Structure 1
Amino acid sequence: MTLNCLAPAQPPASTLQLTTHDTAGRIGSVALTCDPNGGTHPKRDKACAVLASVGGDLSKVTPRHQACTLIYAPVDATAVGTWRGKPVTFKTTYPNRCIADRDSDGVFAF
């Protein structure tokens, strides 16, 4: 008798391209992979943990407690890719870079 044992299915890797563009013309872009964590994001472990806590839905991220100035210098932020096999498309405009960092809990901190 032969038993066939299959390893549990691993969730597909999550891959996102994150970009920011501000009114001064600065453009930032990083790649982020999770499961396993990698890419060019400077704080990839933290960003992956934040995304895991909301199932990859950036609109559900709870902003961290951090004071920011009220200076209006809009930052467009986008995330495109997949989270555990599901497509991700996120786009929003934050009032300034500090608020982008705070409200994304570091996902857009690059």
Structure 2
Amino acid sequence: MRYNRNTFAASAIATALLLSGTAAAGVAQAKPAQPDSLYAPSSLVLTVGKGADAATATVERAVTLECAPRPGGSHPSPRSACTDLAAINGQFAQLVASSSQKPCTRQWDPVVITAAGVWEGKRVTWSITFGNACEMAGSMAENSVFAF
């Protein structure tokens, strides 16, 4: 077989079309990944458990809470909980009142609450232990985040 400049040119064109032009052959090219939203994600798992420590507590209740791009999850009041978190910039420690707003016994029956996940694109791991369920309810009465 004899090769000339036209043979090489035709071969180069065919190779270029094959490598770059799958669209020319009727196959759609993959588009680059695009974010679903312009908002940073906010998705959390909230728990209430029995025990003195988050690592060893027995979880009694748990919900998911999504705040961005829109409120959702299994939380009974996601819109209200997201509003409460947004008001404190996701600083969970600010949810807790300095003292219980209701009279409670001094019985030691520890309850631990946790928040884990992502708030406005930043990883969150937070927990606090209360002496009993009454203290927890009195300290958290001002917000709906852990009202489930």
The runs of 4+ residues in structure 1 deviating greater than 3 Å are none
More strand by share: 1
The alpha-carbon deviation at position 66 of structure 1 amounts to 4.0
Q: How many residues align?
A: 101
Structure 1 CA distance, aligned partners of 2:105 and 2:96? 20
Higher RCO (C-alpha under 8 Å, 6+ residues apart): 1
Match of 1:50 among 72, 84, 97: 84
SS in 2 for 1:38: coil
Contact 1:17 1:32 in 2 (8 A): yes
Contact 1:47 1:106 in 2 (8 A): yes
Match of 2:40 among 6, 9, 12: 12
The alpha-carbon deviation at position 80 of structure 1 amounts to 0.3
Counterpart position of 1:108: 146
Residues 47 and 20 from structure 1, CA distance in 2 versus in 1: closer, same or farther, beyond 3 angstroms?
same
- TM normalised by structure 2 equals 0.58
The alpha-carbon deviation at position 21 of structure 1 amounts to 0.7
More helix by share: 2
Residues 102 and 53 from structure 1, CA distance in 2 versus in 1: closer, same or farther, beyond 3 angstroms?
farther
Counterpart residue type for residue 106 of structure 1: S
SS in 2 for 1:80: strand
Aligned CA RMSD, in angstroms, stands at: 2.4
- Larger of the two Rg values belongs to structure: 2
Residues 62 and 22 from structure 1, CA distance in 2 versus in 1: closer, same or farther, beyond 3 angstroms?
closer
User: Which runs of 5 or more structure 2 residues have no equivalent in the other structure?
Assistant: 1-36, 52-57
- TM normalised by structure 1 equals 0.75
Contact 2:50 2:60 in 1 (8 A): yes
Match of 2:125 among 82, 89, 100: 89
The alpha-carbon deviation at position 13 of structure 1 amounts to 2.5
Answer yes or no: is 1:79 the counterpart of 2:115: yes
